[in-house]
Chains A and B, each alone.
Chain A
Amino acid sequence: MPVNTKAIGKTYEPVVYAVGREKIKEYARAVGETNPVHLDVEAAREAGYADLIAPPMFAVVYSAPSVGPPIFDPEIELNFAMMVHGGQEFVWGPPVVAGDEITTTAGVKDISEHDGRGYYVFESISTNQRGERVCRGTWTNIVRGV
C-alpha cells in the first residue's frame, strides 16, 4: 500500500509553552548536565542571562507536543504501532531562558516511501515572545511495513 502524501505542506495549531526555572533544573538533572548555567540562577546571571538557560536539547520539552497532532492526524494514516524515531535535527537560535514563552508550529515537511518503509518528516518552528526563532526541529519517523 503506497503512503498517503496528500498532507505534505499541512500545518497545525501552534502550541504555547511557558518555560519554568524548576522545569529547566529537572530536565538538566535528568540528562546529567553539570554546567551551573542550567542549575544555579546566580551562575546564569553572572554569565549574562536573565535567568537559568535551558540546555539546547530542552527543545524537546517545548516543541515535541507540537508533533503529536501530525503523528495522530487521520489524514496522514501513519501506523503509530510500527513507527520508530529514525532521525532528528535541531537548529538553534538565541538561548531559551526561564520566563520565556515559546510558541511552536508543526507542519508536514515530507512523506515518502523507500523499500517498504514510510518516511514521515515533520518540522517544528519555535519562536520566543520577542518573535525570535529559537529552534527549528526536523523529526524523521520511519514506519515499517507500509
Chain B
Amino acid sequence: MAELHAGEQIPEVRITPDKYLTVRYAGASGDFNPIHIDEDFARAVGLPGRILHGLWTMAQVARAQTDAAGGPEHLKRLSVQFRGMGVPEHEVIVSGTVRELADGRAVIDTVAEQDGKQIIRNAEAELEL
C-alpha cells in the first residue's frame, strides 16, 4: 500500500492490452458488442479497428485506486467520463493525484491515457482508508 498525501500522485498503473484482450474481456464481462471483437465489423462502422471496452479501461482506473489504497474494500466511489477510444496493443497509463485527504477519506482526481490522449477523463475516486 502506498502512503497517500494530499497534492501528491498515486502510483501509476501501466498496462498494454494484448491483441486478444478484448475477446477475453468480452467473455469475462458479458459485453459482446462486435465493435470490440470483430475487426471487419468495427471498420464497417467507421472505427479504426476493434476498440477497447470503456469499462475495461475504467477497471484499470479502479485498479490504480485499490492498489494505492491497499485493497478493493477501500474504493467507495468512482465516476468517469469516456472520451475518444482505446485500442489494443497500445499502452494504457492511469495516473492520479490526491486532491483531498481528511478524516480517513481521500478524493483522487484520475485519468487514463493512451498515446498521449485521455481516453478516460474527469474521473474522481473516493477512498475510505
Contact = CB atoms under 8 A, between A and B. Distances in A.
Interface stretch (A3-11, A32-40, A111-119, A122-130): A32-40
A16 B9 CA distance: 39
Contact of A27 (B29, B54, B58, B79): B29
For chain B, the bracket of interface size reads: 20 to 34
B116 interface: no
Given A35-B67, A87-B80, A56 B62 contact: yes
Nearest to B70: A35
Contact of B29 (A60, A87, A89): A60
Interface string A19-44: 00001001101111101011000000
A57 B54 CA distance: 12
A35 B73 CA distance: 12
Contacts of A27: 28-29
Contacts of A23: 28
Interface string B73-107: 10111111110000000000000000000000000
A23 B25 CA distance: 12
B66 interface: yes
A69 interface: no
A84 interface: yes
Interface string B7-32: 00000000100000100110111110
B79 A56 contact: no
Contacts of A108: none
A96 to B, nearest CB: 10
Given A38-B72, A56-B66, A56-B72, A29 B79 contact: no
A136 to B, nearest CB: 9
Interface of A: 23, 26-27, 29-33, 35, 37-38, 47, 53-57, 60-61, 64-65, 84-92, 95, 138
